[in-house]
C-alpha cells in the first residue's frame, strides 16, 4: 500500500507531478455521509469517539479524492481539557458558560496532560494511520483564536471583551496566552508522536487585529509553538484567516507553509511571503460556479501560483455546509488535471 506523499512534498517545496489539494472542513456537514454519522451523536460525542472520527475523516478521501486527510476534531477540545465546560448549541456554535476575565479564572485553568485528557484524539490518529493512503494532518487552534472563545464565552462579531482585556489588562491577557500556548504545544507534540504527518495551526480570528497588535499579542505565541514543533521534523502550516494584511508577520512565524484566505491574489501573496510554500486560496463559495467558470477560476489560480516554492491547492476557508459534494469533487479533479506535468 503506497502512500501518496504529493502533499508532503509540496509542503517541503519539492517537485510534484501535480498540485495536491485538500479542503478545510472537508470532513463535515456538507456530506450526506457525515450527516448520517452525526445523526446518532452530539458533536462533542463525535469528537470523542475515535471509531466515528476515523469514519468521518476517511469519507472525503474516498468521495472527493483529496491528497491529504485532516483529523476530525475541534479547536476547542484542548480548552475544555484546561478545565472549562464546553457546550455546542445548534445555530450558536461553541459556548463556554464560564469565561476567563479575571485572575481567579485564569489561575483555575490547568495545563493538561494531552494523553490523559485528550487520549481519544491520539487514538483516532493511530487508527487513521493504519487506514490512510494519504498523509494525515493534525491541527490545533492558535492561542489568540482560542483565547477569544474563553474570554468572550463563544463566537463574537466585535470581540469587545478580548480587546478590552488586551488594552486594559495586558498582564492578564498575556498570562492567559502563556497557558494556552503551553497546552497547545504539548497537544500538538502528542499528535506528532501518535502519527500525524503534518500540523496546522488555525488562527481563525487573527484578522481582527491591527498588524502592530498581531505582532504583540498573537504572533509571539504562534511562533513559540512552531519553534517547539520543529523537533518533530513535520511540515507546519500556519493559517491566519482574514490575514492578507498580516502576511509578512505570518511568514515570520517559522511555519513551512503559509495558509492564505481568498482576499488576496495568490501571486501577490507569494511575492510577500518569500521562500515558503503556500496553501490556498479559492473562495469557498466559488465552488458554486458553473463548471466551466469554476474551471477557469482554478486555471487562473494555478497560473498565478506558478512562482511558489510549493503550492497546496485549498479553499481560503472551510467548505460551506450547503456546497454540493459533486462540485467539490469536480474542483479536486480539475486541479489534478490542469496541474499535471
Known catalytic residues?
Answer: 25, 29, 38, 74, 149
Contact yes or no for 315/60 (Cβ under 8 A): no
Grid coordinates belonging to 2: 503506497
d(C-alpha 233, C-alpha 280), whole Å: 23
HSE (side-chain half, CA atoms, 13 Å) at 225: 33
d(C-alpha 139, C-alpha 86), whole Å: 19
Neighbours of 338 (CB within 10 A): 16
Query: What are the Cα distances from residue 265, in Å, to 138, 140, 274, 303?
Result: 27, 26, 15, 11
d(C-alpha 206, C-alpha 154), whole Å: 16
Strand order in the sheet with 311-315: 69-70, 136-141, 198-203, 236-240, 257-259, 277-282, 311-315
Query: Helix (H, G, I), strand (E, B), or coil: what is residue 177?
Result: helix
Amino acid at each position: 500500500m503506497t502512500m501518496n506523499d504529493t502533499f508532503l512534498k509540496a509542503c517541503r517545496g519539492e517537485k510534484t507531478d501535480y498540485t495536491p489539494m485538500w479542503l478545510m472542513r472537508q470532513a463535515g456537514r456538507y456530506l450526506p455521509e457525515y450527516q448520517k454519522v452525526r445523526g446518532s451523536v452530539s458533536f462533542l460525542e463525535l469528537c470523542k469517539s475515535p471509531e466515528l472520527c476515523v469514519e468521518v475523516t476517511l469519507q472525503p478521501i474516498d468521495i472527493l479524492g483529496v491528497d491529504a486527510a485532516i483529523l476530525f476534531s475541534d479547536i476547542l477540545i484542548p480548552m475544555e481539557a484546561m478545565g472549562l465546560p464546553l457546550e455546542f448549541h445548534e445555530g450558536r456554535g461553541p459556548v463556554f458558560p464560564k469565561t476567563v476575565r479575571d485572575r481567579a479564572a485564569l489561575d483555575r485553568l490547568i495545563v493538561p496532560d494531552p494523553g490523559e485528557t485528550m487520549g481519544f484524539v491520539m487514538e483516532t490518529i493511530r487508527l487513521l494511520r493504519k487506514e490512510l493512503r494519504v498523509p494525515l494532518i493534525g491541527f490545533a487552534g492558535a492561542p489568540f483564536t482560542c483565547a477569544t472563545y474563553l474570554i468572550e464565552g463563544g463566537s463574537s462579531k466585535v470581540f469587545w471583551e478580548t480587546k478590552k482585556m488586551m488594552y486594559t489588562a495586558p498582564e492578564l491577557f498575556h498570562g492567559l496566552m502563556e497557558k494556552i500556548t503551553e497546552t497547545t504545544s504539548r497537544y500538538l507534540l502528542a499528535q506528532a508522536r501518535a502519527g500525524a504527518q503534518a500540523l496546522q495551526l488555525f488562527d481563525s480570528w487573527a484578522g481582527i487585529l491591527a498588524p502592530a497588535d498581531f505582532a504583540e499579542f498573537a504572533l509571539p505565541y504562534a511562533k513559540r509553538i512552531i519553534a517547539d514543533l520543529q523537533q518533530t521534523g513535520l511540515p507546519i502550516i500556519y493559517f491566519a484567516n482574514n490575514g492578507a494584511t498580516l502576511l509578512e508577520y505570518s511568514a515570520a512565524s517559522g511555519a513551512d507553509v503559509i495558509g492564505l484566505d481568498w482576499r488576496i491574489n495568490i501571486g501577490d501573496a507569494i511575492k510577500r511571503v518569500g521562500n515558503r510554500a503556500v496553501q490556498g486560496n479559492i473562495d469557498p463559495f466559488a465552488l458554486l460556479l458553473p463548471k466551466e467558470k469554476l474551471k477557469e477560476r482554478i486555471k487562473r489560480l494555478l497560473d498565478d501560483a506558478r512562482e511558489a516554492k510549493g503550492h497546496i491547492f485549498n479553499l481560503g476557508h472551510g467548505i460551506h455546509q450547503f456546497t454540493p459534494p459533486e462540485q467539490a469533487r469536480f474542483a479536486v479533479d480539475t486541479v489534478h488535471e490542469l496541474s499535471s506535468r
